[in-house]
Structure 1
């Protein structure tokens, strides 16, 4: 998907196809609709956004390395999507609630979640890495699009409680073809739920291009649900921040849901089990690499008089510390006891769960018997051999 595609109909329309405040070359582009939403973003705030994205990229790279070294079972990289996640997450209040998919490591970082707790899930050392209520963020959702329903339900409840807090549901372009997302949009629209549907259109639903799923911008799909759509350059952290603030403000004032399509690109594989070279070209990758979300902020800062070399040294040192802490955390992760899989499934015990627990216990006992029998058999064989020798 390129900027030359048709513009979205919704809250924001642009001849280039999406809203943009920082060009790929790092130039600040004025915008009469969005500028007022980022008047507080000075050089220091931009430095913070640059730092967030840079550290996040290093953490993500460490997650991939740990998976390749056998320390983690699977890792879903977010390379290239840093601006979409950091920009939107920095727009949130502490009492808002995030419902993400499985790639929102950047949102988790901004919400204050230790990267080790994210890694813990992918290592298989925990069913969920953190307490959602402590950070205002649900644990990763693997079922595609299911979190959109959870976000809508939470938002409806918050509105009924008289709160002006909002929910944000993060999902990819592929999820827009799932029934759950469409059902969530129906409920959210019908009940004016204060929820932001944040679609990270990264171009590929595993190996399926977005153009095969939709012949028009995904933000246009929101029109059918009477939900305003915003199409924004997902590689522009400032535009994403502004667009998310627009949507959150609408939600807090009782205006209902908003659909944001952040047009970005997944630079790496879908997960570490995927080989993207099988379905996309090097030219496509190079085209999007030229739109790197971090490089453009760095260029803007340099043009503003910031000592880029000094900033990069500071950021690289912080990124190295974060990556080192993530790698060191592996040594502290204890594998859970097998029977703990039944803990916290239901609030109250029930016969169905107990029956499964009993069957699983018997299954595990088979391996205990084998472990017990092995030394005994070995000793018996050894005794027989020695006896024969004597």
Structure 2
């Protein structure tokens, strides 16, 4: 299907929804009771998305925020409240009907927030040709929109272009656990349902890294639909455009605390728990970001850790029988590869089948934020419990 045809069909679909109030995609968790206090009902009833990127408290006072695919404006208006009257919010959308509703309600939201004028503006534009000056955005948000763009790598490059050095993104979108087959890719209706254009998590993150973003990690995930054995789920991801330089630092080494026994960062450096690793100034900037910093001790001199040290962290599997129940774990960064203490190697975005013991381990606080878990068995799992070998051979 030609790109122009995809774009037009998606735009027409959302224009119709804006006019009729049709409910569309996807799993969201807006606090409607809160938003109703300052956002008009006309906006709330046409709010489509698969997450709440502005509502995750990633927005800071005084920032300039860009919302890609702003629709009726719900996420822009939520960001407007969080940046305060000194901040600025820009929403871009390709659908005239959506833009008209958003622009109409911007003054009402400003008045409800007690602002003398609106700090939100809405511009017509495409996600792959963002009408914003280079290097001017503190935070980019987007809610279930990038999967609708035929050329997502171009969107990611545009995001990197407009972000300030030191800027970041928090975006929610639909991804799949395996490549979407061509018969779905060419299904026009499913483009509008956020299915046909979904990338795998691996390809989605790879596109962001290819554009220049680093420190990409999972904030939240929710299952959505299973179609012909393909699991579609929403993810909210955050990543950074590293500053070109940083204040002088005497940090020269990083020691992995855990709970992972081994990690490989996005710059290709490998870390083994407890063993100091020499690092470059660029790596210092990367490892200082949230949530990478929680895994390391950064120091000017080599620092070794052992199990007796309180800073050493590890989560070991229980000494119990293991059952296969159809669970798969997808590692979602902010590292490209990781290993646990039960011989599993996780590569970012790639589904790895896990047994019940590993499922319990990955549910622990130190691991859970880094993984999306899906179950491909549905109700059909009936595997007997097995005993794992000492080298972790069963799972």
Instruction: Give TM-score, length-normalised by structure 2.
Output: 0.32
User: Which structure: greater helix fraction?
Assistant: 1
Instruction: Give TM-score, length-normalised by structure 1.
Output: 0.32
